[in-house]
Structure 1
Amino acid sequence: MTKDDRTLGFYTQEASAYASRGDYLNFKHIEAFLALLPADAAILELGCGAGRDSEFMIGRGFSVRPTDGTPELAQAAEQRLGIPVATLLFADLDESETCDGIWANACLLHVPREDLPGILAKIHAALKTGGVFYASFKAGEAEGRDQFDRYYNYPSESTLRAWYAASDWADVTVTAERGGGYDGRPTDWLHVVAIR
């Protein structure tokens, strides 16, 4: 299982700037995700960044366990949220049926293509039966790097579906949407909701 040091290096070096970005106002994907969960759901957030999404979910009364692969961002999230935030690389997730929901907004898009089916299998194992998993990806046809030298797997919808098919999901829904990103450029996004 590989990790991309250049991508992690970006988040380490830019943690303060990244954490101080303005919050977006569109929470429709979190709202849709939370609507699929029971009121007492235990949620694991992967790649929580500065903690914005965890803060929103906690504010809605959910039990959230935020994690990030960059210690500096985990620390920033911990300061924002006032709860422990673990440093966790996706490859180190090793749980069995502990979560009702797993939220991975704009983070698994940094996982090398050859590693993603294995990461999705780990996420599948961590979910309880009927658990809900959300992830978002920048769409494309071939892996590559952005202007900040961050690695992206840039999948097409058919590629994404093939990666998810390697695990036994009960249902996988993919929606395409135009949006933006840290680089300020228009971006084609793929949003995936999978049910174990």
Structure 2
Amino acid sequence: MKMNDQSDAQTLTFYDAEAATYAAKARPDDMPASFHRFAAALPSAAHVLDLGSGDGHYAAAFEAMGHNVTAMDGSAGLAAIASTRLAKPVRVARFDELEEIDAFDGVWAHASLLHAPLKSLPDLMARIHKSLRLNGIFHASFKTGQPEGRDKLGRYYNFPTQMDLQDAMTSSGNWSDITYDTGNGIGYDGKSTGWIILFARKTA
């Protein structure tokens, strides 16, 4: 790994270079079921962290529901697009630069933490736990089913097992309502892959 042991320069370079194309890709009309579950668990006028916000697609949807959204992404190119969409600054930062404490009612990390080195997940989950208010909710989604490595586009993926995620969550703090749903989907690279959808709630 370059730059920092919790980031990958090659992956960030890809998203900077492909930001406009990535943001313009077609999306389903309906939000995924995980979005609706997360949104239903939020209090009214919640403060949501979109961790790895990409082009701001989900952040804009949360704002349209009346929530206050802090958007953060490691790619300056994607953050610039999201800033335009949201009409406010998007923080350009790595996952390991999350230092807020008791700040958010929910952390939405959709298809973002899957780019963090596998060994860094316990630390990142602990940072997310600290950033949440009591009873705050956490969503993350990960590609799974193969060893960590790069896809054909050069992007790094950690490809955790459920056990990897369980170990990271256990070491990061107290959680309840933890679920690990599984499914399949087609990625930006056009390849079908398995997914694990993590949902949890912070407890004291």
Calculate the TM-score normalised by the size of structure 2.
Answer: 0.92
Describe the superposition over 1:83-133 as per-residue Cα deviations: whole angstroms up to 9, x where unpaired.
Answer: 221112101000110000000000000000111110110010000011001
Structure 1 counterpart of 2:123: 118
Structure 1 counterpart of 2:19: 15
Structure 2 counterpart of 1:144: 149
4+ residue runs over 4 A deviation: none
Deviation of 1:140 (Å): 2.2
2:13 aligned with 1:5, yes or no?
A: no
Aligned equivalents of 1:177 and 1:150: distance in 2? 21
2:63 aligned with 1:58, yes or no?
A: yes
Structure 2 counterpart of 1:109: 114
Calculate the TM-score normalised by the size of structure 1.
Answer: 0.96
Equivalent residues of 2:145, 2:193 under 8 A apart: no
Structure 2 counterpart of 1:71: 76
1:43-54 matches, within 5 Å, as 43-54=48-59
Structure 2 counterpart of 1:187: 193
Q: 1:184 corresponds to which letter in structure 2? A: G
Aligned equivalents of 2:117 and 2:179: distance in 1? 22
Structure 2 counterpart of 1:81: 86
Deviation of 1:24 (Å): 2.4
Aligned equivalents of 2:34 and 2:65: distance in 1? 14
Structure 1 counterpart of 2:29: 25
Equivalent residues of 1:23, 1:52 under 8 A apart: no
Q: Which consecutive unaligned segments of at least 5 residues does structure 1 have?
A: none
Q: CA RMSD in A?
A: 1.1
Deviation of 1:141 (Å): 4.3
Matched residues, percent identical? 38
